[in-house]
A and B are shown apart, each in its own frame.
Chain A
Amino acid sequence: MSALSARAGTKSQKGNTPECVQSFVTGGTTLVSHLKTSIRGAMALSTLFLLAGPISVGSQEASPPKEIPRITWEETDYLGLLAKELELKTAGRIRLGKGIERKEVKVAVRDAGFYEVLDALCRAHKEVTYFIEDDVQPGTEQLTISPGRWIEYPASYHGHFKTALVAMMKTSRSSPEGNETRVETELVVFGPPWTALSWSSGAEVEWTINEARDAEGRDILAPPRIGPGDERMGISLDMHRSGNFSIHVVALRDFVLDRGLKVLAGKAKIRTVESRAVRLAAEAGATAEIPQGTLTVDSAKELEESGRESSWIIAVTLKPNESSKELNLHRVVGPRVRYDGDRGRGTYVSLPSQGRSFDVSTPPIPRSPK
Chain B
Amino acid sequence: MSVLLAILLAVIPVQDDFSKWISQLESDSIAEREEATRLLYALGEAGVDRLEKAREGARDPEVKARLEALIARIRKAAELAKILGPTKRVTIAARGRPLKEVLAQVMAPGMAAIDPGEFDPEGRLDLQVRDVTWWEALDRVARASGAHYEIKDNGDRRVKITLIRGKEPEGPVLYAEQFRISVVEASRFDFRTPTGKKSMAMIVVEARHQPDLKPGGRMYDDVIRFDTITDAKGDDAKTLPPGWTGSRFLNPRMLGLQEGVWVRADAVLPLTITGRTDVPFPSETREISLDLSGEGSTVQAGKAMLRAMAFSSSPGGTRLSLKVESEDLPDLDQRLIPGSVFLVDSKGGRHPGFSNSSSGSNDRYTWKFEFTSGIEDPRRVVVRWVEEFHRVAIPFRLEGVRLP
Residues of A within 8 A of B (CB): 2-11, 43, 46-47, 49, 133-134, 136, 149, 151-153, 166-179, 181, 229-240, 257, 298-299, 301, 303-304, 313, 315, 317, 350, 355-357, 359, 361
A167 CB contact (under 8 Å) in B148, B169, B193: B193
Evaluate whether A43 and B323 lie within 8 angstroms (CB atoms) in the complex, with A174-B186, A235-B249 already known: no
A153 and B194 within 8 A (CB): yes
A234 and B315 within 8 A (CB): no
B294 and A257 within 8 A (CB): no
Contact residues in B for A357 (Cβ distance below 8 Å): 314-317
* Cα A181 to Cα B190 with chains together (Å): 11
Contact residues in B for A8 (Cβ distance below 8 Å): 294-296
Q: B239 near A: Cβ within 8 Å?
A: no
A233 CB contact (under 8 Å) in B251, B296, B309, B402: B251
* Cα A136 to Cα B241 with chains together (Å): 15
B388 to nearest A CB, angstroms?
15
B186 and A173 within 8 A (CB): yes
B189 and A169 within 8 A (CB): yes
Interface CB pairs A-B, < 8 A, 5: A3-B300, A151-B193, A168-B191, A232-B184, A301-B312
A232 and B194 within 8 A (CB): no
A10 CB contact (under 8 Å) in B192, B248, B310: B310
Ranked 3 nearest A-B pairs via Cβ? A357-B316, A9-B309, A9-B296
* Cα A176 to Cα B164 with chains together (Å): 11
Query: Which partner residue on chain B sits nearest A185 by CB separation?
Result: B192
Residues of B within 8 A of A (CB): 148, 150, 166, 168-169, 184-197, 202, 204, 206, 243-253, 256, 258, 260, 288-289, 291, 294-302, 307-312, 314-317, 319, 321, 323, 356-357, 366, 368, 402-404
B48 to nearest A CB, angstroms?
33
* Cα A357 to Cα B189 with chains together (Å): 41
Contact residues in A for B247 (Cβ distance below 8 Å): 235-236, 240
Q: Apart from A9-B323, A169-B190, A233-B251, what are 11 other A-B pairs with CB-CB below 8 Å?
A: A2-B301, A4-B289, A10-B311, A11-B295, A173-B404, A230-B251, A233-B187, A233-B204, A237-B246, A298-B312, A355-B317
B166 and A233 within 8 A (CB): no
A175 and B194 within 8 A (CB): no
* Cα A6 to Cα B242 with chains together (Å): 49
* Cα A317 to Cα B319 with chains together (Å): 13
Contact residues in B for A301 (Cβ distance below 8 Å): 309-310, 312
Evaluate whether A175 and B317 lie within 8 angstroms (CB atoms) in the complex, with A235-B246, A303-B323 already known: no
Most central of A149, A231, A232, A356 by chain B CB within 10 Å: A232
Most central of A229, A240, A303 by chain B CB within 10 Å: A303
A176 and B168 within 8 A (CB): yes
Contact residues in A for B323 (Cβ distance below 8 Å): 9, 303
B190 and A238 within 8 A (CB): no
Evaluate whether A232 and B166 lie within 8 angstroms (CB atoms) in the complex, with A6-B294, A46-B197, A151-B194 already known: no
A174 and B185 within 8 A (CB): yes
A167 and B204 within 8 A (CB): no
A356 and B316 within 8 A (CB): yes
A166 and B315 within 8 A (CB): no
A315 CB contact (under 8 Å) in B206, B260, B312: B312
* Cα A164 to Cα B291 with chains together (Å): 57
A236 and B307 within 8 A (CB): no
Contact residues in A for B314 (Cβ distance below 8 Å): 298-299, 315, 317, 357
A257 and B312 within 8 A (CB): no
* Cα A20 to Cα B68 with chains together (Å): 65
B245 and A176 within 8 A (CB): no
B401 to nearest A CB, angstroms?
10
* Cα A229 to Cα B187 with chains together (Å): 13
A233 and B258 within 8 A (CB): yes
A303 CB contact (under 8 Å) in B189, B309, B319, B402: B309
Query: Which partner residue on chain A sits nearest B370 by CB separation?
Result: A352
A239 and B197 within 8 A (CB): no
